[in-house]
C-alpha cells in the first residue's frame, strides 16, 4: 500500500512540475504582450508629440522593434496592433494602398529586429 501511495504522490508531483513551465511561459507571453502594447503606445505618443513631417515610418519601425524585443508576446501584440491600425486607416481614413504597404514594411522591419533608424528622417530631434 505504501508503495502505491508513494507512486501516486510522485506522479502528481512530476505532473505538476511538468505543467508549471507551460503556465510560466503563458504568463511571460501575456506580460510581454502587455509590455509590447505599451511600447506601441509610447511610439504613437512620441510620433504625435514630435509632429515631424516624414517621421511616420520611423515611429512605426521603432514601436514594433521595441515591442518585439520583449519576446514572442511583444511581437504578437505589435503585429495585432499594427495590422488593426493599418486596416482602420485604409478603411476609414481612405489612405492609399501604397502608404499602407510602406507602413507595413516599416512595421515588419522593426518586428524582425531591423534598426528603426533606417527610417529616421534628417532633423528629427535626438530625444526620439
107, burial (CB in 10 Å: exposed 0-12, middle 13-18, buried 19+): buried
For domain 26-119, the question of CATH label 2.60.40.3080 is answered with: no
Q: Looking at residue 1, what is its pLDDT? A: 59
- CA proximity to 72, closest of 31, 106, 29: 29
User: Is residue 96 very low, low, confident or very high in pLDDT (cuts 50, 70, 90)?
Assistant: confident
pLDDT for residue 14 is more than 60? no
How high does pLDDT run on average in the chain? Answer: 89
Query: Which of these ranges, 41-55, 79-93, 98-112, has the smallest mean pLDDT?
Result: 79-93
C-alpha cell belonging to residue 91: 478603411
Amino acid at each position: 500500500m505504501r508503495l502505491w501511495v508513494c507512486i501516486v504522490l510522485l506522479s502528481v508531483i512530476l505532473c505538476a512540475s511538468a505543467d508549471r513551465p507551460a503556465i510560466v511561459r503563458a504568463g511571460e507571453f501575456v506580460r510581454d504582450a502587455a509590455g509590447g502594447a505599451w511600447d506601441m503606445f509610447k511610439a504613437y505618443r512620441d510620433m504625435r508629440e514630435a509632429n515631424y513631417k516624414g517621421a511616420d515610418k520611423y515611429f512605426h519601425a521603432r514601436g514594433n522593434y521595441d515591442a518585439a524585443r520583449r519576446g514572442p508576446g511583444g511581437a504578437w501584440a505589435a503585429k495585432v496592433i499594427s495590422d488593426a491600425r493599418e486596416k482602420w486607416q485604409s478603411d476609414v481614413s481612405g489612405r492609399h494602398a501604397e502608404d499602407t504597404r510602406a507602413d507595413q514594411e516599416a512595421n515588419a522591419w522593426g518586428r524582425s529586429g531591423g534598426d528603426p533608424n533606417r527610417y529616421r528622417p534628417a532633423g528629427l530631434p535626438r530625444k526620439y
